A and B are shown apart, each in its own frame.
Chain A
Amino acid sequence: MSAPVSPGLRSGSLPLLVALMTLLAGLALAGLSGVQTLAESWSGAARNATTIEIPADTPQLEDRTHSLVQTLNKTPDVTTVRELSAKEVQTLLAPWLGQVSDSAGLPGLSLPVVLIVAHTGTPDLGAIVHSVLPEAVVEEDRRWGERLNGLGNSLIACAWLAVSLIAAIAVLSVGMTVRRSVMAQRKAVEIVHFLGAGDLTISSRIAGRAALLSLAGGLVGLLLLSPVITMLAQRLTPFSHGTPPAASPTNTWDALFATWCGTLHVLPRMLLEELGALPLIAACLGWLTAQTVVLVWLRRLP
């Protein structure tokens, strides 16, 4: 233990407070991560696709459709042009028409030809399509994508606001705890100050202790968060594209740990990194807040 040159911090409820804040911050980050993933998937799917619908009663439907596909294939920035099969069109229209085995099941109804054009950049497909097939209806999915993106960004902003509020409350709580501690040890702090201790000497000892206690609180908070995160990961497992690492069949702690790691595998790597960094962030915030509070308090002494 280092030789004392300044009073330390009386911790009070600081670790518990930081543990709860870490738990809340972790939950907010998990929510933020979910919203981000959703928003990216919405905008990613819609941003680079255009749907072209050619009515079934268009004259010379097959030839003109073929001609349009060729034109589109030659257009710069267009990557693929895919014509939906009749079954896919039926599936697409099922919410409106109900399930039918084929178009023959609906007398008098002919299914349109639907083309899905994938592209990079923003080619003016409407003008190109209408120059070949004026009857075609062009649905720019990008517009939907932009709206979904806007919604996603709003949700992300809300989640960031929640994280920021939690951080602000944590800073306030640490600040009040440190201030109470300094007030409680006012005499000792003044003795050390008037013996010639520098402000940084006094504040660093208190801030170091605040950082250590915040780190401990952060680790406890992470421990409290782990069942929630595990449950979230289990819920996401069915939607995961990756295969989680196989767990050992033996019923040992190692196997349980491996299973747990496998479960967490479905969560975004970024989220896991952010959660892992929470105790360190708590420690940094604790250190900075304590330094600031003590240095400001010391300014009142000559």
Chain B
Amino acid sequence: MIRLLNVSMMPPGVGQPVLRNLTLSVPQGEFRWLLGPSGAGKSSLLRLLTLETRPSAGQMDMLGVSVSHASRATLRNLRRRIGFVPQDYRLIGEWTVFDNVALPLRLRGASERDTRREAFAVLEWLDVAHLADKRPGTLSGGEQQRTAIARALIGRPELLLADEPTNALEDAQARRLLMTFQELIEMGTTVIVATHNEALVREAPAASIVLQDGTIANTDAQNGTSTRRTEHS
């Protein structure tokens, strides 16, 4: 469950807030598209939701934890329950693909045997297991993106956030990823995907959070959530 109440975000050194008075609620196990033109605040909202920054005003609850005044230890534990596919992949260049993907499980203290099994399962599913010993710098954009997706999925997160997760994928891979998101939702994971890809949104119609100039443009009055349900077939 994600709940934002009048949340604003003003990065240090910036004169005005990049997000203003956001109020939204996403129940556990639901899917949302995060839409809006460039500069609307999608990445800033994702930064808030991945706990890379705290809101400068308002109340923010994630997975049952009040984030606004949470301790560093609480935030650390919360981050381990969140998977994130960044637009720029954020892979550690000095490590192998396997070590990058295994990191979330290792941070949770999983045994090396379990880590290896889980990591290779997800790498094989994403068709990059043969690259396990390679460094990210030697991979193509699509391969790096699949590695980042594997790292986000491996911990079976309760909340999955993805920023343009299909922009370097082929159509078949993108469709497969959407199917994975659907499976995760069925297992109770909340999934929020930011995208510019209208074709993808048409392919998987779902409720949306539409941002415009740092505020929410549409409100779904029915469930009190600032969302817009896309109705493309």
Residues of A whose CB lies within 8 Å of any CB of B are: 3-5, 7, 187-188, 191-192, 194-199, 201, 302
A196-B102 contact, Cβ under 8 Å, with A7-B94, A302-B52: no
B window 80-131: CB within 8 A of A: 80, 84, 90-95, 99, 102-104, 106-108, 112, 115
A188 CA to B94 CA in the complex, in Å?
9
Candidates B72, B103, B112; contact of A195 at CB < 8 Å: B103
B174 contacts partner chain A, Cβ-Cβ < 8 Å: no
A302-B107 contact, Cβ under 8 Å, with A4-B95, A194-B50: no
Taking the closest CB of chain A, its distance from the CB of B23, in whole angstroms, is: 22
B106 and A187 form a contact (CB under 8 A): no
A7 CA to B53 CA in the complex, in Å?
22
Name the CB-closest residue of A to B95: A4
A302-B54 contact, Cβ under 8 Å, with A3-B112, A196-B80: yes
Could you list 10 A-B pairs, sorted by A, with CB under 8 Å? A7-B94, A191-B92, A192-B92, A192-B107, A195-B79, A196-B77, A196-B78, A196-B104, A196-B108, A201-B107
Name the CB-closest residue of A to B70: A302
Describe A's contact surface by its main secondary structure: loop
Candidates B76, B92, B106; contact of A3 at CB < 8 Å: B106
**Chain B residues, Cβ within 8 Å of A191:** 90-92
Taking the closest CB of chain B, its distance from the CB of A188, in whole angstroms, is: 5
A4 CA to B94 CA in the complex, in Å?
10
Candidates A194, A196, A201; contact of B52 at CB < 8 Å: A194
Taking the closest CB of chain B, its distance from the CB of A189, in whole angstroms, is: 10
A3-B102 contact, Cβ under 8 Å, with A188-B92, A188-B94: yes
> Interface size bucket, B side?
20 to 34
**Chain A residues, Cβ within 8 Å of B112:** 3
B51 contacts partner chain A, Cβ-Cβ < 8 Å: yes
A196 and B107 form a contact (CB under 8 A): yes
Contact with A along B42-69 (1 / 0, CB 8 A): 0000000011111000000000000000
A122 CA to B137 CA in the complex, in Å?
80
**Chain A residues, Cβ within 8 Å of B75:** 302
Contact with A along B13-41 (1 / 0, CB 8 A): 00000000000000000000000000000
A199-B72 contact, Cβ under 8 Å, with A194-B50, A302-B51: yes
A201 CA to B77 CA in the complex, in Å?
13
Taking the closest CB of chain A, its distance from the CB of B34, in whole angstroms, is: 18
Residues of B whose CB lies within 8 Å of any CB of A are: 50-54, 72-73, 75-80, 84, 90-95, 99, 102-104, 106-108, 112, 115, 151
Q: A3-B102, A196-B108 are in contact. List 15 more A-B contacts (CB 8 A).
A: A3-B106, A3-B115, A5-B106, A7-B92, A7-B94, A187-B90, A191-B90, A192-B107, A194-B79, A195-B103, A195-B107, A196-B107, A198-B73, A302-B53, A302-B54
B51 and A197 form a contact (CB under 8 A): no
A194-B99 contact, Cβ under 8 Å, with A188-B92, A199-B72, A201-B107: no
**Chain A residues, Cβ within 8 Å of B93:** 188
A187 CA to B54 CA in the complex, in Å?
19
A192 CA to B104 CA in the complex, in Å?
9
**Chain A residues, Cβ within 8 Å of B102:** 3
Taking the closest CB of chain A, its distance from the CB of B140, in whole angstroms, is: 20
A191 CA to B91 CA in the complex, in Å?
8
A134 CA to B120 CA in the complex, in Å?
102
A192 and B94 form a contact (CB under 8 A): no
B103 and A5 form a contact (CB under 8 A): yes
B99 and A195 form a contact (CB under 8 A): no
A3-B51 contact, Cβ under 8 Å, with A191-B92, A197-B107: no
A191 CA to B80 CA in the complex, in Å?
12
Name the CB-closest residue of A to B67: A302
A167 CA to B145 CA in the complex, in Å?
47
**Chain B residues, Cβ within 8 Å of A201:** 107
**Chain A residues, Cβ within 8 Å of B151:** 195
A4 and B54 form a contact (CB under 8 A): no
A4 CA to B93 CA in the complex, in Å?
13
Taking the closest CB of chain A, its distance from the CB of B102, in whole angstroms, is: 7
A194 CA to B84 CA in the complex, in Å?
10
Name the CB-closest residue of A to B109: A5
